[in-house]
Amino acid sequence: MRIDLTDRTAVVTGSSQGIGHAIATGLAQAGARVVLTGRGASSLDDAAGRLRGTVPDAEIVTVVGDLATEDGAATLADAVPETDILVNNLGIYGSRPPLEITDAEWRAYFDVNVLSAVRLTRHYLPGMMGRGWGRVQNIASDSAVVIPAEMIQYGMSKTSLLAVSRGFAKAAAGTGVTVNSVIVGPTHTGGVEDFVYELVDRSLPWEEAQREFMRLHRPQSLLQRLIEPEEIANMVVYLSSPQASATTGGALRVDGGYVDAILP
């Protein structure tokens, strides 16, 4: 399958590293003009340099701002008034005993993981609908379905994204615009190797260590290894393509079979 996103603009939030950067790279490889976003100019400059190292002819725009705030969303909207593809990847996570989660922490998780996506969708979706083409994707998590006991505030936010995606897909019905969520499973992102080696024998080579980690601590995974960010990017690039025109309102899984269900 050859995916061509030439002449398309793609905004990817939280794209200076990890899954967001892999998604931006995949979209650039397909020919899209990509907009990298983050809170630090230096980290975005570094991200743009790494992306150009992979895709030398990539057209890249960087926008600095805190997209968890109204001002940050306005900054992005001013810099990039319209887009063809919006990938809401920005998110925070962390463990916390459920009865110790404060009101402020509940609000922070909702603001960053949910409301940031709602604001940008509310801004960009009308233009997509008016032009008769567009793609919106919200990066969710297996935690949306399998709520972790140690971070229910995170699980709540990702469950909310599934509802948001379905609702906006209905708002865009019949317009040529699709809205979907992507359910991501345990992923090999920055810092995860240190985390894995805190739980398994440090003398093991990485490939063996991650499989041991998955066997002991994520046994429900059918993949039995961590997912690479590029594998998530592959799904996002496909959903951004003309080939995915009949896929909307869905929650598509790139979870390595982690969620033990036929449907989300």
Domains of the chain: 9-187+229-247 (3.40.50.720), 190-226 (no CATH)
Least confident among 5-14, 60-69, 98-107, 213-222: 213-222
Over residues 68-93, the mean pLDDT reads 97
Question: Which residues are tagged catalytic?
Answer: 154
Torsions phi, psi of 254, nearest 5?
Answer: -125, 65
Q: What is the distance between the alpha carbons of residues 197 and 221, in angstroms, rounded to a whole number? A: 19
Answer yes or no: is pLDDT of 155 > 90. yes
Cβ pair 55, 27 in contact under 8 A: no
Most confident of 51-55, 187-191, 197-201, 218-222: 51-55
Q: What is the pTM of this model?
A: 0.96
Answer yes or no: is pLDDT of 264 > 80. no
Q: How many CA atoms lie less than 13 Å away from 198 in the CB half-sphere?
A: 5
Q: Report which of 103, 125, 112, 95 is spatially closest to residue 158, judged by C-alpha positions.
A: 112
Over residues 226-243, the mean pLDDT reads 98
Grade residue 17 by pLDDT with cuts at 50, 70 and 90: very high
Over residues 6-22, the mean pLDDT reads 97
Task: Return the pLDDT at 45.
Answer: 97
Check residue 191 and give left, alpha or beta (phi > 0: left; psi -120 to 50: alpha).
left
Is residue 199 packed enough to be buried (19+ CB in 10 Å), middle (13-18) or exposed (0-12)?
exposed
Task: Return the pLDDT at 1.
Answer: 87
Over residues 192-218, the mean pLDDT reads 92
Grade residue 212 by pLDDT with cuts at 50, 70 and 90: very high
Task: Return the pLDDT at 43.
Answer: 97
Percent above pLDDT 90 for the chain: 92
Structure tokens at 194: 């240190």
Task: Return the pLDDT at 195.
Answer: 85
Answer yes or no: is pLDDT of 103 > 90. yes
Least confident among 128-142, 148-162, 186-200, 242-256: 186-200
Torsions phi, psi of 101, nearest 5?
Answer: -75, 125
Q: Report which of 207, 224, 98 is spatially closest to residue 155, judged by C-alpha positions.
A: 98
Over residues 73-101, the mean pLDDT reads 96
Structure tokens at 82: 């319209």
Answer yes or no: is pLDDT of 90 > 90. yes
Q: What is the distance between the alpha carbons of residues 225 and 161, in angstroms, rounded to a whole number? A: 26
If residue 79 lies in a helix (H) or strand (E), which one and from where to where? helix 70-79
Answer yes or no: is pLDDT of 127 > 90. yes
Q: Report which of 40, 44, 33 is spatially closest to residue 11, judged by C-alpha positions.
A: 33
Task: Return the pLDDT at 186.
Answer: 93
Q: What is the distance between the alpha carbons of residues 1 and 19, in angstroms, rounded to a whole number? A: 22
Grade residue 190 by pLDDT with cuts at 50, 70 and 90: confident
Pairing of strands 177-184, 251-254: parallel
Answer yes or no: is pLDDT of 230 > 90. yes
Q: What is the distance between the alpha carbons of residues 137 and 259, in angstroms, rounded to a whole number? A: 20
Answer yes or no: is pLDDT of 74 > 90. yes
Grade residue 227 by pLDDT with cuts at 50, 70 and 90: very high
Task: Return the pLDDT at 191.
Answer: 81
Answer yes or no: is pLDDT of 197 > 80. yes
